[in-house]
């Protein structure tokens, strides 16, 4: 199944049915009076977060959603049938944006949440409503109210507890595969990961969700590489795991590149708590480990965790640090929490 996290949809609610102009006609009843019924209401357009979806790919093949209009009223005071509603079923974590792609209409973060996107038009009144003491035979009825037509954007932001960030080939996908049941593509060339992956990680009898996004490069905020649009999927994370390739010649520079791109993308993302991990230590000798760990600690000002996803070295300790950090970040808002990993 392909991954799609941004799509445009065109919606229109149903129009209300017209009211009816009708008069009672029965044998031996000379002046039966008006009996025109009201028109039915038009159908609404809703968006609902449902379980079992993690992509917006369904909206690539259908982008137009038009609710049914209400039926006109009929004689004998019969009201027209209301139009059926339409429900856009989206994954949890979907934002509904206005046509400008900036104004957030709704943020559906939990399964079962619903939001009304376009209300159907009201049905028109039949001529029975216009009967008065001086006008016993009204020959007028209201037309139904027109439906609402809108163009909207759906943007998916995956819901995860921890997010992986780093340069291409830093070892993010390998770490996710080694710690969860996710099976991302792993290869020895850049940009192996082309779309975000989610995995459920277990440690000490507890579980949390980790998100792996495509690698960032210098200038990603300006559109280089795959750009930085995938960073939207770590906006909801409590903690970021910044993965730095231990086999790189300059780990401090690699760290600064990613931190710069996070800051350029969003201050909210840049303010998230950070855990720093030096990966691929199985391919390094003791002196090289110590030297690069010290350089990375100086650049980040934080503790550096040495891990090897292939050999399993340091992985469990890092997962324990992650789950403690997630618990701490969930207790206090990110902008208020004093952070000391």
Question: Which residue is listed with tokens 């129009």?
Answer: 15
The answer to the question of whether 179 is labelled as a binding residue is: no
The answer to whether the annotation marks 214 as part of a ligand binding site is yes
- Strands 64-66 and 86-91, how do they pair? unpaired
Neighbours of 29 (CB within 10 A): 9
309 is in an annotated binding site: yes
Query: 212: annotated binding-site residue?
Result: yes
Q: Does 281 belong to an annotated binding site?
A: yes
* DSSP classification of residue 328: H
Return d(Cα 207, Cα 195) in angstroms, integer: 23
Looking at residue 136, the DSSP 8-state letter turns out to be: S
* 94 annotated as belonging to a binding site for a ligand: no
Residue 215 among known ligand-binding residues: yes
Four-residue CA torsion sign, 254, 260, 265, 267? positive
Q: Which residues contact 130 (CB under 8 A, 6 or more apart)?
A: 34, 138, 140, 141
> Was 310 annotated as part of a binding site?
yes
Q: Per the annotation, does 193 bind a ligand? A: yes
Element (H, E) at 199: strand 197-203
Q: Confirm or deny that 135 is annotated as ligand binding.
A: no
Residue 173 annotated as part of some ligand binding site: yes
CA distance linking residue 125 with residue 142, whole number of Å: 5
| Residue 15 is assigned to a ligand binding site | no
Residues forming beta bridges with residue 275, ordered by sequence position:
241
CA torsion sign for 210, 212, 213, 219 is positive
What's the token pair of residue 289? 């480990």
170 is in an annotated binding site: yes
Annotated binding site: 166-173, 191-195, 212-215, 279-282, 308-310
Annotated binding site for Mg(2+): 173, 193
Annotated binding site for GTP: 166-173, 191-195, 212-215, 279-282, 308-310
């Amino acid at each position: 199944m392909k991954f799609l996290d941004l799509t445009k949809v065109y919606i229109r609610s149903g129009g209300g049915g017209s009211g009816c102009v009708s008069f009672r006609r029965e044998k031996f009843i000379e002046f039966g009076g008006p009996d025109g019924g009201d028109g039915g209401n038009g159908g609404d357009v809703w968006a609902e977060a449902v379980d079992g979806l993690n992509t917006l790919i369904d909206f690539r093949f259908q982008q137009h959603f038009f609710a049914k209009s209400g039926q006109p009223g009929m004689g004998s005071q019969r009201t027209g049938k209301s139009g059926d509603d339409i429900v856009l079923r989206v994954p949890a974590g979907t934002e509904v944006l206005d046509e400008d792609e900036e104004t957030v209409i709704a943020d559906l973060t939990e399964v079962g949440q619903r939001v009304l996107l376009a209300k159907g038009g009201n049905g028109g009144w039949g001529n029975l409503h216009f009967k008065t003491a001086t006008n016993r035979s009204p020959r007028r009825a209201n037309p139904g109210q027109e439906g609402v037509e809108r163009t909207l954007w759906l943007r998916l932001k995956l819901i995860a507890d921890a997010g992986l960030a780093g340069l291409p080939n830093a070892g993010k996908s390998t770490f996710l595969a080694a710690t969860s049941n996710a099976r991302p593509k792993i290869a020895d060339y850049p940009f192996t990961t082309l779309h975000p992956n989610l995995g459920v990680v277990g440690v000490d009898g507890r579980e949390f969700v980790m998100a792996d996004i495509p690698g960032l490069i210098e200038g990603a905020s300006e559109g280089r590489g795959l750009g930085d649009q995938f960073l939207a999927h770590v906006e909801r994370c409590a903690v970021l795991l910044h993965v730095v390739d231990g086999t790189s010649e300059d780990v401090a520079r690699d760290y600064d590149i990613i931190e710069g791109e996070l800051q350029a993308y969003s201050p909210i993302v840049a303010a998230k708590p950070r855990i720093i991990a030096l990966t691929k230590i199985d391919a390094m000798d003791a002196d090289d480990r110590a030297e690069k760990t010290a350089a990375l600690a100086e650049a980040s000002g934080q503790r550096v965790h040495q891990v090897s996803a292939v050999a399993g070295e340091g992985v469990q300790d890092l997962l324990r640090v992650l789950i403690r950090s997630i618990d701490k970040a969930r207790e206090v808002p990110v902008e208020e929490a004093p952070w000391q990993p």
